[in-house]
Amino acid sequence: MSQAPLLIYLDGKLVPESEAKVSVFDHGLLYGDGCFEGIRIYNGRVFRLTEHLVRLYESARSICLTIPISLEEMEQATLQTVAANQLRDGYIRLVITRGVGSLGLNPYQCPKAGIIIIASGITLYPKEKYETGLNLITCATRRPAAAALSPQVKSLNYLNNIMAKIECIQAGCEEGIMLNEQGFVAECTGDNIFILKGGQFFTPTISSGALNGITRQAAIEILNDMGLSVREVTMTRHDIYTAEECFLTGTAAEVIPAVQYDRRPIGSGKPGPVTAEVMARFSKLANSTGTPVPYA
């Protein structure tokens, strides 16, 4: 039985995926000029939708991009798109482009931003990796300096992360650590990182180049509920090499253990018990909270 074509929200209308097209003059295509959010749907609810939308609008404001509808209208458009596709579990990609303009960098030649909302499925890592853990490498590609572009802006220009991901794939690994220009750990190609040492968890500071991830914040809340403190620190590769446990967080990845770094085992080389508890608690949280989707 064939799957029904997706309905895509495109500039105020729901259209079949075959008709969801943007102009070749859209600056999102020409220059990677725009921002996005990835959001999850669990059990008929959108997880932390408000937090994601607040971050989207902050990203847009930071790059002088005016989103043509209000945050409340964007929330309704997002829920409408999920409902139209009858998704109870899945992934939302919300994209804001600079819009159609002339050839040239000037963003003020683009009179109106474009809005795209896709609600579909996603599989970032194989299911078995949540049981056995990921292998990580250090990527040669560095995280862009905060003075060039704030790490809090989820820009459409993801080429830096893509080049780092290519390194991971060529090395036979699923994910990699990106360092900042000073050589400190920033984050992975698409995830935040946590390590356990001496009964305490550590994660890189935002100023090191890490995105303040929504799932990152959820993991910190879960660890605090477990009575474990989390310190945001300037992290080195040595800290990861000598960690007792390690896990990554991200909207698509959720919470997933990492067991090897640069061919060195992390801790026992197997997912740790604290990581397993965080994963279980996150699953419970994600499947029991969120903004309900108003299905017809």
Q: Is 154 a catalytic residue?
A: yes
Q: Token pair of 92, please?
A: 């939302």
> What amino acid is encoded at 49 in this protein?
L
Contact 168, 189 (CB under 8 A): yes
Catalytic residue among 13, 129, 154, 197: 154
From CA 266, how far away is CA 259, in angstroms rounded?
5
Q: Which residues are catalytic?
A: 154
